[in-house]
Structure 1
Amino acid sequence: MTPRQRNFGKSRQRGFSLIEVLVSMVIASVGLMGMLSLMLKGLQANASSGWRTIAVQSAYDMADRMRADKANVGANKYKNIVTPGSASSCANDGSVNTAHVKPPATSTTCGGTTSSACDWFSTTAKLLPKGASAVCEKDGVYAVHVSWDDGKAGTTDKTFSLRFVP
């Protein structure tokens, strides 16, 4: 008698089943969606960084303008001024009364400020989304506040503040 030979090769599967293909596609799509989410967060962080850079440059620009215009600083032309038409105002401690400087509802003209400050207000409003700014003073120390909309909410939700003595 001859021993029975087992034939393992014929019963083996030679390809992928449809279920295996579907499972691998689900795993791959979850991974790709994670990568897309990561890329979106990176783009948002990049945009936020860009707006913050503009706000910092704008605040230092106003500080430099004030240092160059000592006569008007001494005449209190830069004391407690906000974006024309804004509902914000300066508090007694040199900060802004609201959490953020509010942008004006409509475009208004600068009245009672220097041309340098008026130019700065309009430049900040043009460069930043919903950009608004204020210069507040307490005991000779000035604070420049620049606010902007960092998201899709449509409200000013970020503020950069710089304190200095001109």
Structure 2
Amino acid sequence: MIIRTDRPLLLGSYARSGNHQSGFTMIEILVTLFILAIGLLGLAGLLFEGMRNNQGAYLRTQASILAYDMADRMRANGAEAEAGNYGGFSTANIQSTTPPTCASQSAGCTATDQVTLDQIEWTQQVEGTGNSMAMLPGGTGTIAYDAGTGIYTVTVQWDEASRGGDAGEAIAGDNSYSVRFSL
């Protein structure tokens, strides 16, 4: 076998020339990790905002349930409600959350005592006082009555972090739910 020495071997010259690249460089890996990190931060932001919106929807649903619960209580005690005896009430101003004694008696409550019982039970649900669990964080409820029109307004408010709008403005009234009705 004759070996020619005037031509370099292909394998040997290729390995010595430095033109062969094998694998990624450190800069390419760092750029890839940076892009991946930005994408993951965006995904985390979307998840956080989605959970916050879901919690806000849950609280608005609870407020709706509470407002309609009081409206139904007033409709059930129609004579007292038509007289306006439920109006001017706020859960923040209630003196005692102890139900009247008629609540535990078999004969039940009179229509006037039923107003007090309804207000106390509603306060316990809204604020979570007594042995009841609060349905809303920092919840308060008010009942207003317009004697001229005969319209009740039941409003439930709660504490919630305000959300920003499209242009960065705060959304007002996002933590309040009102029901207006007449008997």
TM-score tier, shorter chain, comes to 0.7 to 0.9
1:159 matches 2:176? yes
Length-normalised TM-score, structure 1: 0.74
Equivalent residue number for residue 120 of structure 1 = 122
RMSD of the alignment, in Å? 2.8
Runs in 1 of length 4+ with deviation above 3 angstroms?
A: 110-113
Query: What number of residue pairs does the alignment pair up?
Result: 139
1:80 matches 2:73? no
Equivalent residue number for residue 45 of structure 1 = 53
- Unaligned 5+ segments in structure 2 are 1-6, 99-112, 128-133, 163-172
Of residues 121, 131, 148, the one that matches 2:139 is 131
Larger Rg, first or second structure (1 or 2): 2
Name the SS for the 2:93 alignment partner. coil
Whether contact under 8 Å (1:148, 1:157) holds in the other structure is no
Write the mapping of 1:13-162 to structure 2, written as runs, cut at 5 A: 13-85=21-93, 108-109=95-96, 114-125=116-127, 126-138=134-146, 139-151=149-161, 158-162=175-179
Length-normalised TM-score, structure 2: 0.67
CA spacing shift, 1:39–1:51, aligned 2, 3 Å: same
Distance of 1:17 and 1:140 partners within structure 2: 78
Distance of 2:174 and 2:54 partners within structure 1: 17
Distance of 2:160 and 2:21 partners within structure 1: 56
Distance of 1:135 and 1:13 partners within structure 2: 78
Distance of 2:66 and 2:80 partners within structure 1: 19
Whether contact under 8 Å (2:82, 2:150) holds in the other structure is no
Name the SS for the 1:19 alignment partner. helix
Distance of 1:123 and 1:36 partners within structure 2: 35
- Unaligned 5+ segments in structure 1 are 87-107
Q: What amino acid is the match of 2:87?
A: K
Whether contact under 8 Å (2:155, 2:177) holds in the other structure is yes
